[in-house]
Structure 1
Amino acid sequence: MSETPDSLRPKYKRVILKMSGEAFGQSGKTGISIDETLEIARQVKLVVDRGVQLAIVVGGGNLLRGAQFSAGGEAIREATAHYMGMLATVMNGLAFQDALELHKVETRLMTAIRMESVAEPFVRRRALRHLEKGRVVILSGGTSNPFVTTDTAAALRGRELEADILMKATRVDGVYSADPEKNPHAVRYEKLTYQQVVRENLRVMDMSAIDHCMEAKLPILVFDYKKVGNIERAMAGHPIGTLVTDSLK
């Protein structure tokens, strides 16, 4: 059955969308794929046109991961590697900003690391104002602190910007009891509580991010953004992916 405009009416007013760096590249390859980036921008435009206030936290794993230098001895210190990873998120943010603007979406790129010639510094009140004006806010640079993942950055920004939900866009269709590629008996969860995630050590987000969301009662949706139309469905509250809340009711 085809979806109607009413069925895609947004359930959430303000959303934090976490996009990993891999979303902007081709699977198994490094670098930025213009086609992949433009496709995400096309999907984002659809939900913004429906009135969703959207802030997007971008990762940088398609370009560089700080952890990849962890075995490199003393040539590059771990903290330095993490700063390099944060700079990679700014590169993705710049590419994504141009892709969105090609689709006539008004944007603001904000970064936790000051670099005014390419992006605005993240200022909470300014970000809120952009959202209220219907601009997509692209959040890069992590938190500007090493040893903090972009998952945790997304949770923190979700709290700061008073989002209704944090959505983690991935290449899998939810959270499983085990790795489905290794265990054919792995079960996909439709709903979980924060306590279950912690107790069973499930791969939803890192535990610091889970703690922040649990404290703020900020729901988390993990879903497959690669399936056409899923970003719209997620914003409309369709039962896709895995929803993590404080209760299974």
Structure 2
Amino acid sequence: MAVKYKRIVLKLSGEALAGEKGFGINPPVIAAIAEQIKQVHELEVQIAIVCGGGNIWRGETGAEMGMDRAQADYMGMLATVMNGLALQDGLENAGVPTRVQTSIEMRQVAEPYIRRRAIRNLEKNRVVIFSGGTGSPYFSTDTTSVLRAAEIEADVILMAKNGVDGVYSADPQKDPHAKKYQELTQLDVINKKLGVMDSTASSLSMDNNIPLVVFNLNEPGNILRAVQGEAIGTTITGGK
């Protein structure tokens, strides 16, 4: 079965791991995502994953409550580690060898992030989960996705959304006239303020010419379709 991309970064939101609950980790949802990833893994596609942490904690929420922003962001990074470990368990239960690497060292539970080791794991057909964000506050997991994609020379970032099938000109749930885009550039995303990723992530993607595919995770088989190059969502080219 032909694939368009041989090395990918899959960006999963924390909310996607919570499912309909909206909070916490939902084991049946983890198992379903793991099965989708397994389909792609069996085609010998090299898979790296970045998980968000919004199903457990958001740094922005803590800052709005008066918490020190850096402190709140570090808590968010720890939430992404919990999600990474849960996803690792789901993948290994599905028979997919997986390594979790963290930007903040915690050797008892995961490997520290080392670029060359991450690439070697990918070459050995292991899924690598990047947790702990960038390791620094004030950066989102969207920025982490682009940074890691640049570092491991990934072909694409697949942004799997929870119930959203692409990028729209407005919120389709609020505006019935919202237009779905089939293709954009990162400069379009920034200029139109479409909110696909934060501006730091979009700029980094544009500067490093990393393409992005935004699609609906909740449709079974969509990760495989995205890897095969099917037009299932919105493709955002990395260049200007």
TM-score, length-scaled by structure 1: 0.93
Shift of 1:26: 2.3
Amino acid at match of 2:75: M
Q: Which residue of 1 aligns with 2:151?
A: 160
**Would the aligned equivalents of 2:207 and 2:239 in 1 still touch at CA under 8 Å?**
no
Q: Distance in 1 between matches of 2:28 and 2:93?
A: 13
CA offsets 1:138-195 (integer angstroms, 9 cap, x no match): 0100001011000000000000000000111102000000111111100000000122
Count the aligned residue pairs. Answer: 239
Q: Considering only aligned residues, what root-mean-square deviation do their CA atoms show, in Å?
A: 1.2
Amino acid at match of 2:45: V
Q: Distance in 1 between matches of 2:9 and 2:161?
A: 14
Amino acid at match of 2:126: R
Instruction: Say which of 90, 94, 97 aligns to 1:103.
Output: 94
Percent identity of paired positions between Structure 1 and Structure 2: 51
Structure 2's unaligned 5+ residue stretches are none
Instruction: Say which of 85, 98, 114 aligns to 1:94.
Output: 85
Q: Which residue of 2 aligns with 1:3?
A: none
Q: Which is further off, 30-39 or 64-73? A: 64-73
Q: Which residue of 1 aligns with 2:53?
A: 60
Q: Which residue of 2 aligns with 1:139?
A: 130
Q: Which residue of 1 aligns with 2:227?
A: 235
- Is structure 2 residue 26 aligned with structure 1 residue 33? yes
Shift of 1:83: 0.3
Shift of 1:247: 6.7
**Aligned CA distance change for structure 1 residues 246 and 135 (closer, same or farther; 3 Å):** closer
Q: Distance in 2 between matches of 1:25 and 1:165?
A: 25
Amino acid at match of 1:19: L
Q: Which residue of 2 aligns with 1:149?
A: 140
Instruction: Say which of 150, 157, 172 aligns to 1:180.
Output: 172
- Is structure 2 residue 118 aligned with structure 1 residue 127? yes
**Would the aligned equivalents of 2:205 and 2:238 in 1 still touch at CA under 8 Å?**
no
Shift of 1:246: 4.8
Helix, strand or coil for the counterpart of 1:56?
Answer: strand
Q: Which residue of 1 aligns with 2:36?
A: 43
Helix, strand or coil for the counterpart of 2:145?
Answer: helix
Q: Distance in 2 between matches of 1:247 and 1:56?
A: 23
- Is structure 2 residue 183 aligned with structure 1 residue 191? yes
Helix, strand or coil for the counterpart of 1:26?
Answer: helix
**Aligned CA distance change for structure 1 residues 166 and 71 (closer, same or farther; 3 Å):** same
Q: Distance in 2 between matches of 1:163 and 1:247?
A: 15
Amino acid at match of 2:4: K
Shift of 1:48: 0.3
Shift of 1:39: 0.5
**Would the aligned equivalents of 2:207 and 2:238 in 1 still touch at CA under 8 Å?**
no
**Which of structures 1 and 2 has the bigger CA Rg?**
1
Shift of 1:70: 1.9
**Would the aligned equivalents of 2:146 and 2:201 in 1 still touch at CA under 8 Å?**
yes
Q: Distance in 1 between matches of 2:31 and 2:69?
A: 33
Amino acid at match of 1:103: A
Q: Which residue of 2 aligns with 1:70?
A: 63
CA offsets 1:49-85 (integer angstroms, 9 cap, x no match): 0111000001111111111112323xx3111111000
